[in-house]
Amino acid sequence: MGGRRAQRRRDLGDLLDRSPARTALRGRRQSLRRQHQADRHEPLHRFAPRADARHGHHHDIWDYDSANQPILFDMTVGSRRVKALAQASKNGFLYILNRETGQPVHPIRETPVPTETARDGEQPWPTQPIPYSVAGRPMAPVTPTFPTDIPAERLATAKPVPMFTPPGPNQIHAPGTEGGANYGPISYSPRTGYLYVNAIDHPTNSGRPPKGVLSAYDPGNGEMVWQKSYDGYGQAGSLVTAGDVVFAGSGSNTAGYFMAFHAKTGELLWKFNTGAGVFGSPSVYAANGEEFVAVSSGGGDRGRRGGDVILTFGLPPR
C-alpha cells in the first residue's frame, strides 16, 4: 500500500483472523484521468492476513484522508453483542463497522454528490458513502459539512459549496483540508457506551479562525448524544477515564487549553491554559495509588503558538 504512513492496531483479546489497517495518502494535486472509484487513495482497508487480500476501499480527491487510527471496542446493538471498529474521518463522518465481517453496523448509503468539474479529464465518482443511524437519518457529523460563520468580506469573493463538490477556484469547502477528525484518535468508554471524537471546524478558504468540536456518540444507535464547541484547533485526541471524565485539547495562535468534560453530559468541568498548542493525545496513569493525567504542549506550525513542555495533573479520588 504506498503512502505517508500506516498504523495498525490488533485486538489480541479475541485473536480474529482479520485486522484493520488505516493508510493516509496525501491528495495528489493533478487531475486524475479516470473515474475515481478504483484508484487506491484515502481508504479504510480490511485485510485477511493469511490470504493478503484487500476487501474494499473508497476514493478521495478532497484531502479527506482518515488520518487517525481506528479504535476497536465491543458494543451492544439491540440484543446483539458486536465486535466493532470505529473510524472518524476528515470528511466529518464517523464510520462504525463490524470488525469480524467488515460490514457496517448501521447503514452506510452511497449518496449522489456533485460531479461537475473544470479540471480536464477528471471524472469524480457520482456517489459517496454517508453513514446513517438506526432511525434512518444521516448520522450527525463531527463538524459541519457545509461552511458556517463565513465573514461577509470572504463571501464577496468566494462561494460556499456543498460537500464533495470537486475542488475549484473561489470555493469554500467544509469540513476543509484541515478540518474534520484529524490526527488525534477517538476514544470509547465501556461505562457510558459512548464514542468521543475531537475534531476541527475550519472550512477551506473560510477567512475565519478554526473552532474545535468535541462530540459524544452512542454507537448502538448511531445518534449524537452531545456536542461542544470551543476556540482553536481540536486536533488533539480525546481520552476518557473510568471516572467519567473526557479530556481534550485545543491550539491556536495565542494559546492552547487542556479541558475536562463530563462524559455523560458534556458539561465543561475544568480547563487550563497551557500557554501553547495542545495537539497530542493525553495519557492517564496511576502511581502510589493516585491517578494522574499528562499532556504535551507544543506544536506551533501554521501560525499556532508553540511550546515544549509536558504537563501533569493529579486527578481527585473517585
Give the pLDDT score at 74.
96
Give the pLDDT score at 262.
98
What pTM does this model have? Answer: 0.84
Examine the pLDDT at 138 and tell me if it is beyond 50: yes
Please indicate whether residue 306 or residue 74 has the higher confidence score (pLDDT): 74
Q: How many CB atoms lie within 10 A of CB 170?
A: 9
Give the pLDDT score at 292.
95
Examine the pLDDT at 83 and tell me if it is beyond 70: yes
Q: What is the mean pLDDT of residues 14-41?
A: 42
Give the pLDDT score at 130.
96
* List of domains in the chain: 5-314 (2.140.10.10)
Give the pLDDT score at 59.
62
Could you read off the pLDDT of 236-295 as tens digits, one per residue? 999 999 999 999 999 876 668 999 999 999 999 999 998 888 888 999 999 998 999 999
Examine the pLDDT at 178 and tell me if it is beyond 90: no
What grid cell was written down for 288? 502510589
Q: How many CB atoms lie within 10 A of CB 242?
A: 12
Please indicate whether residue 231 or residue 17 has the higher confidence score (pLDDT): 231
Give the pLDDT score at 298.
81
Could you read off the pLDDT of 260-275 as tens digits, one per residue? 999 999 999 999 998 8
Give the pLDDT score at 194.
98
Under the banding of pLDDT at 50, 70 and 90, the label for residue 13 is very low
